Amino acid sequence: MREFQRVCLVHYHEIGLKGHNRSTFEMRLLRNLEAHLADFPIVTIHRISGRLCVFIREGTDYETACQTADVIARIPGTARVSCGYVCDRDLEEMYVAAERAVLDAGPFETFKVKARRNHTDFPVDSMQMNRMVGAYLCEKFPEKKVQMKGQDLTVCVEVVQGSVYVYAHSLRGIGGLPVGSAGTVVSLLSSGIDSPVAAWRIARRGAVVVGVHFSGRPQTAPTSEYLVDDIAHVLERTGCMARVYVVPFGDCQRQIAGLVPPALRVICYRRLMFRVAEALARAEGAKALVTGESLGQVASQTLDNILATNAAVSLPVFRPLIGSDKLEIIERAQELGTYEISSQDAPDCCTLFMPRSPETHAKLADVEAAEAGLPIEQWVSELVAAAELHDYRCPAYKPRKPQRA
């Protein structure tokens, strides 16, 4: 039987809604796909009307093409990816390509053909194509039935410009927008369950993520740093993770613990973390901070305490999980692949110098009074200078030279 070139068609949804910016979004997705598929047998990726088409090298088997589609499905901006063939604008070619696509797709009992043409210069309209391709497949697979609703298999035939794309295998993508289309955020990454999920939520909306992790070092072992590195590698697979700053925070915490009333310690730690994160954000050109907080989950996540912590910085602080329950967050972490890592116990600054009863309704005036006289600015500069940098592979990120505050 005649061989055709295999393709993966990448369908997007929201990019399609962007007016005059559309080509910028499409090109961003195209570049991200190129980078992720560097190790796959890809010839080229083109924009075709309302889709990206990944052309796969001749002689590649169906299994490898499906693996390629699996990778594409996980890249933000992909709403759906289909694995099939490209052929000439010729009915005979279309028939055989459809037969091939059906043979690839595995067992089925019922099917339907869904044809479309993006231009009326192709003389056969979509209804006629449905009928003609359907009739051919009925002849080739006489034991199979055509069914219009709830069919096992949908054979899609799309006439786009000079070519025809035919596929019967489609899978749902992660959706969202291509990483790099929404700027950069600084995400506070603990080694816990929540913050990686929060970072991922924002990344799926197109943001590049620069992480900052506060380690208890030198007052604790660096275990949490290894876990954060593992988490960053999981996020790296989606192309959103640019770099992580690791800040040894233990000594500062010890000083705060000795200088502020026990009930306000946690708020003061967190305000200092936010300030350091903001300084790093400015150096990175990032325009927001992100945390994994969820309303009421722990003492520091009450509205009063969130207000008091936010007051330490002027950048917006995004909390994508604010309305999520812990069980929902755990499910998302499992899907993302960070849950196992986050479930490991590691002392970090969160477990260090904790008061017995932290304030749950801090008043900003009290917090500011407790901080008066502390060398906050100096601590921020020292912590920023002490931050250690780890880089990850993020095609949408252009590294800036870190400017020390």
CB of 260 to Mg ion, least distance (A): 21
Does position 350 bind ligand ATP by CB under 6 A?
yes
Q: By CB under 6 A, name the one of 97, 189, 234, 394 that touches ligand ATP.
A: 189
374 contacts 228 by C-beta, under 8 angstroms: no
CB of 357 to ligand ATP, least distance (A): 16
Q: What are 296's two structure tokens?
A: 């009421």
Task: List, edge to edge, every strand of the sheet that includes 317-318.
Answer: 317-318, 289-290, 184-188, 208-215, 241-248, 388-391
Give the integer Cα–Cα distance in Å for 205 and 208. 9
| Contact set for Mg ion, span 318-377 (CB under 5 A) | 350
Identify the residue whose tokens are 């969130």: 306
Find the shortest distance in angstroms from Cβ 60 to ligand ATP.
41
Structural tokens at position 56:
């796969």
Question: If binding is defined by CB under 6 A, does position 219 make contact with ligand ATP?
Answer: no
E strand or H helix that includes residue 265: helix 265-284
SS3 364: helix
DSSP string for 129-146: HHHHHHHHHHHHSTT-EE
3-state SS assignment for residue 356: coil
Indicate the length of the chain as a whole number: 405
Of 213, 217, 271, 275, the residue at the interface with ligand ATP (CB under 6 A) is 213
Nearer to ligand ATP, 137 or 188 (CB): 188
When asked if residue 192 is in the footprint of Mg ion (CB under 5 A), the reply is yes
Region for 386 from its dihedrals, namely left if φ exceeds 0, alpha if ψ lies in -120 to 50, beta otherwise? alpha
- Using the rule CB under 6 A, is 307 a contact of ligand ATP? no
Q: Which of 26, 158, 194, 278 binds ligand ATP (CB under 6 A)?
A: 194
- Our finding on whether 292 is near ligand ATP (CB under 6 A) is yes
Q: Answer yes or no whether residue 195 interacts with ligand ATP by CB under 6 A.
A: yes
Collapsing DSSP states into helix, strand and coil, what is residue 237? Answer: coil
CA angle at 185 for the pair 78 and 349, rounded to the nearest 5°: 120
| Among 13, 14, 24, 23, residue whose Cα is nearest residue 81 | 13
| Contact flag: residue 190 with ligand ATP (CB under 6 A) | yes
Single out the residue of 38, 43, 298, 303 in contact with ligand ATP (rule: CB under 6 A): 298
Span of 21-29, 47-55, 79-87, 193-201 interacting with ligand ATP by CB under 6 A: 193-201
Selected from 188, 242, 264, 280, the binder of ligand ATP by CB under 6 A is 188
The residue among 296 and 375 lying less far from Mg ion, judged by its C-beta, is: 296
Does 187 interact with Mg ion (rule: CB under 5 A)? no
178: nearest Cα among 288, 39, 49, 27: 27
Question: Could you tell which of ligand ATP, Mg ion, none binds residue 229, using a CB distance below 5 to 8 A set by kind?
Answer: none
Per the CB < 8 A criterion, the answer to whether 260 and 253 are in contact is: no
Of 32-40, 82-90, 162-170, 291-299, which segment contacts ligand ATP by CB under 6 A? 291-299
What residues line the site for Mg ion (CB under 5 A)?
A: 190, 192, 350
What residues line the site for ligand ATP (CB under 6 A)?
A: 188-190, 192-195, 212-214, 291-293, 297-298, 300-301, 348-350
